[in-house]
Amino acid sequence: MIANLVELSVLLAVGLLLINLAWHRPGWVIFAAISIAALLDLFEIGTGGLNIGFSLYINDALSIAVLGTGFLTLKRYHKKFPRDAVPCFALFALIALSFSRGISPFGLKAAGNSARDLFYFVTPAFAIMLLRPAFRLDAVRLARWIEWAGFFLSAVALLRWAGLLPMPVSLADDFREVVRSLNANEASIVCLAFISEIYLQFLERRSSWRWVGIGIFGAVIIALQHRSVWVATAAGLAWLAFRTVRLFRARWVAFGTTACIVLCVIMVSAPRVLKSVRELATVNVQETEKEDSTWAWRVAGYEVAADRLFASEPVNILIGPPAGWAADLMSEDVASTIIHSRYVEVLAYYGIVGFAVLLLWFGMLVRRVGWSAKQVPRRPARDLAGAVLIEALLLAVLVYLVPYSGGLIHGAVLGLIWVAATQNNISIGARRVDFACNQLVRRNKPAILPS
């Protein structure tokens, strides 16, 4: 009895401490929770979960903490619920409805495992959108955050290739001579870091370290051999180049010239490196041309999942089948149950309504990001380039979600992109206010501040 009271008291104290931190430091709580979840996934820690009649994972607790912190932030700052977050709230409602429908026929464990995937994806984005009043985020700061995440993941990849860190069992592959040391979700963050690093290089032309970062990110992306990440990188980089070539024509020419010079130096000094890269690319491209390629396997799974949905009951077609329906089919038909596409996965599990809500959410993100770019056409090229970077990052993520379902970290990135799009112009006004305040102090006389 006394032991139970002690445990209850400890849990109560920890809970009150977390609530206090979430109230006063919501940004740090959400950052810590998302970082812990990403690190656990990276090193495959806690994947087994805790069985208490149903599976309870660390990411469940972290996601609930993130969600609660977001609502506390909304309450503390007395802000209205952001309209762009309504689709996320609708997805939560669909998840809850699917989960409740699946408990009786399939059991609590199967229903929970089915509902987790979309819940993990939407929760960080939703919470960060609610966190918007608590912090400031413009394009440069967003690029730096992604840059540091890219450096960390690249370091993990290099250490695994060097044998200093163990290679996860899930990444073992006899098909490739160079083993993939990061999965596709982690490699996609390196892709975003590569795009961000090029953007930062244009802003800091004299920074030679940026070239080192660009080289590291580019080499890691190629060596990881995730073709979907290659396509997402190409899409984001092409958009960044197309939209900024008029603003930074000389810098793009200098960038291309420098890249060509580096390639020529490598060809002369280390020809085997380019030969290995060419062979690596050839092997991966040829694999897509086979009848049993992974892309063909995925497309076949998409077709089976869609046919299964539209052959079911009208209610299931609208809002998806009850959660847990695929528990007995996963070992027999993996491609149509563990679906490698966020769009098709939502359609198969949450029906036409869920698919429409997902597209509405992404459409509102695109509209918000595009609105940010339209607000700065007459301002300096630096400000417009920041808006274009946000567009490029969003495009890369949306393209990546075609062949992969993404995860918690991608939801966080979408939330940060939304916040940066809404505040990319606020930071400009804040700099003007700071300048006016400094002038006021120096001159010690009244001054009219811009509204």
Residue 451 confidence (pLDDT) above 60: no
What pLDDT does 134 receive?
Answer: 87
What pLDDT does 445 receive?
Answer: 40
C-alpha–C-alpha distance, residues 23 and 131, integer Å: 11
pLDDT level of residue 354 (50, 70, 90 thresholds): very high
User: pLDDT tens-digit profile of 37-87?
Assistant: 999 999 988 777 766 666 778 888 889 999 999 998 888 887 888 999 999
Distance separating the N- and C-terminal Cα atoms of the chain: 62
pLDDT level of residue 271 (50, 70, 90 thresholds): low
Residue 442 confidence (pLDDT) above 70: no
Bin 94: left if φ > 0, else alpha if -120 < ψ < 50, else beta: alpha
Pick the residue with more confidence: 302 or 247?
Answer: 302
What pLDDT does 433 receive?
Answer: 36
Pick the residue with more confidence: 271 or 426?
Answer: 271
**Structure tokens of 134?**
């608590």
What pLDDT does 329 receive?
Answer: 76
Residue 246 confidence (pLDDT) above 90: no
Q: Are 44 and 170 in contact (CB under 8 A)?
A: yes
pTM check: above 0.85:
yes
What pLDDT does 357 receive?
Answer: 97
Which distant-in-sequence residues (6+ apart) come within 8 Å of 83 by Cβ? Answer: 364
pLDDT level of residue 384 (50, 70, 90 thresholds): confident
User: pLDDT tens-digit profile of 278-320?
Assistant: 777 777 777 777 767 788 888 899 999 999 999 999 999 999 9
pLDDT above 70 coverage of the chain, percent: 80
Average of per-residue pLDDT values in the chain: 83
**Structure tokens of 245?**
């070539």
C-alpha–C-alpha distance, residues 120 and 210, integer Å: 33
Q: Are 185 and 406 in contact (CB under 8 A)?
A: yes
Residue from 203, 310, 312 nearest 251 by CA: 203
Pick the residue with more confidence: 103 or 262?
Answer: 103
Residue 16 confidence (pLDDT) above 50: yes
Residue 446 confidence (pLDDT) above 60: no
pLDDT above 90 coverage of the chain, percent: 45
Residue 435 confidence (pLDDT) above 80: no
What pLDDT does 221 receive?
Answer: 93
pLDDT level of residue 17 (50, 70, 90 thresholds): confident
| 375 HSE (CA, 13 A, CB side) | 18
CA distances 331 to 236, 328, 348, Å, are 36, 7, 17
Pick the residue with more confidence: 358 or 47?
Answer: 358
Which distant-in-sequence residues (6+ apart) come within 8 Å of 56 by Cβ? Answer: 49, 50
What pLDDT does 23 receive?
Answer: 83
C-alpha–C-alpha distance, residues 349 and 337, integer Å: 9
- 186-190, 200-204, 245-249, 398-402: lowest mean pLDDT where? 245-249
**Structure tokens of 118?**
């979309």
Sign, Cα dihedral of 85, 88, 90, 92: negative
User: pLDDT tens-digit profile of 210-220?
Assistant: 888 888 999 99
